[in-house]
């Protein structure tokens, strides 16, 4: 699918893609440049919920929370 860039550098995401990837107003996306390719990645509204059930015991929600607390303490 093609989209046109406006004078302000804006691009509309085609409706089929928005529906398929559940991209709604206030959704966030990430732009990744790899060589001569630009990738657009939709980010989940709640990354922890999106992660749930996809990792092994090594990557539990509790472990992620503990690691984040440790990072926060290191930052202070």
Say what the pTM is. 0.53
pLDDT in the model for residue 11? 94
pLDDT tens across the length of the chain (76 residues) = 899 999 999 999 999 999 998 899 989 999 999 999 999 999 877 666 655 555 555 567 777 788 888 888 876 6
Residue owning tokens 């060589």: 35
Q: Is the CB of residue 13 less than 8 Å from the CB of residue 20?
A: no
Residue 48: alpha-carbon gap to chain centroid: 12
């Amino acid at each position: 699918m093609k989209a046109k860039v406006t004078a302000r550098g804006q691009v509309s995401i085609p409706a089929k893609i928005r529906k398929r990837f559940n991209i709604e107003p206030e959704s966030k996306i990430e732009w990744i440049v790899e060589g001569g390719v630009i990738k657009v990645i939709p980010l989940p509204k709640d990354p922890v919920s999106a992660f749930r059930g996809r990792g092994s015991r090594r990557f539990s929600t509790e472990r992620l929370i503990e690691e984040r607390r440790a990072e926060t303490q290191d930052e202070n």
